[in-house]
Amino acid sequence: MSALTRLRDPRTDEAATPAAPSRRRRGPVRLSRRDIAVVTAMVAIPLVVDLVFIWGPALATIVLSFTDATGAAPIHWVGTKNYHTLAEVDPSFWPAVRHNAIWLGVFILIATPLGMLFAVLLDRGLQGSRIYQSVIFLPVMLSLALIGIIWQVIYTTNGGLLNTLLGHGDGGGVDFLGDPSINLWAVLVEATWRQAGYVMILYLSGLKAVDLALKESAALDGANGWQTFRYVVFPVLRPVNVVILVVTVIESLRAFDLVYITNQGGIGLQLISAMITQQITGPGNRIGYGSALGVVLLLISLVPIVAFLVQQFRKEDES
């Protein structure tokens, strides 16, 4: 008997279709006590760690900023006295705010575009791109303290590399780190050298994830390289842009190592982060005053991040 005959129903003379397997409806999944314990631990442990090491110290800093805590004497509530002293009395506060704003501006306007440029060039598959990528990323692998030491050798007044190249190897060179009018810009060169490599890696990972079909479609429509990047690739990198903005703001406001190695945040290099360290660990142990500086630093860091995120969310809602 042929296979066709076996599949036919003798009563209807039609091909019999195999019966579909019966499907059982699954009820709600019941977790065992062990499963519940594991899930609870997976949620509770990170939450407790976050509260203890992040939110706890942050809230404690806000509370201490309204006190005269010094670490030894009894703590007294002083209200907004610390903030008034910051704004009206401390001569280093406003220069520190200005320097932090300059630091942030240099990172956004110079270091970030420079890192993006490196990423775009390397993404095109240049010959030896692996070597270039390693060389540019190398400063990120070094600690900021080591970077400060390296650039001290470069900036040294007598016998430093830069002064030697400028023809001042025998003495009388430019005091790049001691002159208050230029030492901030000298340290910003060090910071940009490192930050550009960090931004390059972030953008390079984002560019690798861009669909090649988008670039090909733009090329077929007659778009050149700049137009393709501006109108096709860059909008796709929106999540990367958010990450880079957050990282840039954090890195610019927490800058400490380079200025402390240079002159411990002295004249020309006042930064809020250096002031916090000086107040808390200095002779007076002014923990309350240092906490007020920390709160100001937190608020300054939140302003650009929140503004950018609100703008991005509005764009998503409009689209």
pLDDT in tens, 135-157: 999 999 988 888 988 998 899 88
Which are the contacts of 8, defined by CB distance < 8 A and separation ≥ 6? 14, 15, 16
Give the model's pLDDT for residue 64.
Answer: 92
Cα distance between residue 122 and residue 205, in whole Å: 11
Give the model's pLDDT for residue 43.
Answer: 92
Cα distance between residue 4 and residue 127, in whole Å: 64
Give the model's pLDDT for residue 6.
Answer: 46
Give the model's pLDDT for residue 203.
Answer: 93
The stretches in the chain having pLDDT less than 70 are 1-29, 169-171, 319
Per the CB < 8 A criterion, the answer to whether 247 and 201 are in contact is no
C-alpha 102: how far from chain center? 17
Task: Classify residue 168 by burial, with Cβ atoms within 10 Å: 0-12, 13-18, 19+.
Answer: middle
Cα distance between residue 225 and residue 217, in whole Å: 12
Give phi and psi for 58, each to the nearest 5. -65, -45
C-alpha 159: how far from chain center? 36
Of 115, 113, 95, 117, residue with least CA distance to 105: 113
Structure tokens at 35: 């499963």
Cα distance between residue 201 and residue 103, in whole Å: 21
**β partners of residue 8:** 15
Q: What is the pLDDT of residues 159-214, one digit of tens each?
A: 888 888 888 766 678 888 888 889 899 999 999 999 999 999 999 988 888 888 88
Q: Measured over all CA atoms, what is the biggest interatomic distance in the chain, rounded to whole angstroms?
A: 112
Of 289, 272, 271, residue with least CA distance to 280: 289
Give the model's pLDDT for residue 210.
Answer: 84
What percent of the chain has pLDDT above 90?
Answer: 29
Cα distance between residue 55 and residue 33, in whole Å: 31
CA distances from 44 to 51, 53, 290 (A): 10, 14, 32
Helix ranges (DSSP H) in the chain: 3-7, 33-50, 56-64, 81-88, 93-106, 112-123, 129-141, 144-155, 161-165, 183-208, 212-220, 225-228, 234-236, 238-253, 257-263, 272-281, 287-318
Per the CB < 8 A criterion, the answer to whether 262 and 187 are in contact is yes
Instruction: Count CB atoms within 10 A of the CB of residue 102.
Output: 14
Give the model's pLDDT for residue 105.
Answer: 92
